[in-house]
């Protein structure tokens, strides 16, 4: 399983719901976790590996990996914060992104069990970042146009070097 990068159209498409959470989906989740680890990331979404499926995986320092299938963000806090984000699909590019500090998400795990999670801090940020991927949104889309253009110019130069 390979991570696709900026310029691949899949990253800009909305992912489709997973119909059946079966052994194949469980294996997919495990492979995504392994791919995330190889990339030294803390989150990875289906579109980032070329799959237009509503699944992402997250692992924050010291915690077990979490699998989110067909997630919905059902609540966000009014409090917002800014924090530097990067993305395995845009290697070497980092920028401060403003997001709600807390989220409530509903999803299914790899065993087909529904759950609701109240997340805050880094976990909330990663969930929002990965959820954006399912909607065809990248973290650079949340930046001002001048800042995004400046970063994309740097990224293009880096990729050509």
Q: How many CB atoms lie within 10 A of CB 110?
A: 22
End-to-end CA distance of the chain: 26
CB within 8 Å of 108: residues ≥ 6 apart: 21, 68, 69, 70, 114, 115
Characterize the bridge pairing of strands 55-58 and 95-100.
unpaired
Active site residue 145: no
The kind and range of the H/E element at 11 are: none
Q: Residues 63, 85, 101, 130: which is the catalytic one?
A: 130
Comparing CA positions, the residue from 96, 110, 82, 74 lying closest to residue 140 is 96
Q: How far is 105 from 75, CA to CA, in rounded Å?
A: 7
Q: How far is 11 from 14, CA to CA, in rounded Å?
A: 8
Q: How far is 90 from 139, CA to CA, in rounded Å?
A: 9
Catalytic residues: 130
């Amino acid at each position: 399983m390979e991570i696709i990068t900026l310029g691949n159209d899949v990253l800009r498409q909305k992912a489709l719901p997973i119909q059946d959470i079966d052994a194949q989906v469980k294996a997919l989740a495990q492979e995504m976790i392994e791919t995330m680890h190889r990339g030294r990331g803390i989150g990875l979404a289906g579109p980032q590996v070329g799959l237009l499926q509503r699944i992402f995986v997250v692992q924050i320092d010291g915690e077990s990996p979490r699998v989110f299938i067909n997630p919905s963000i059902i609540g966000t806090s009014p409090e917002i914060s800014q924090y530097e984000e990067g993305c395995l699909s845009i290697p070497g590019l980092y920028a401060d992104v403003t997001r709600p500090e807390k989220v409530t998400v509903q999803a299914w795990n790899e065993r087909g069990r529904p759950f609701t999670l109240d997340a805050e801090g880094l976990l909330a940020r990663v969930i929002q970042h990965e959820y954006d991927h399912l909607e065809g949104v990248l973290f650079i889309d949340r930046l001002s146009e001048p800042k995004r253009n400046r970063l994309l110019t740097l990224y293009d130069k880096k990729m050509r070097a």
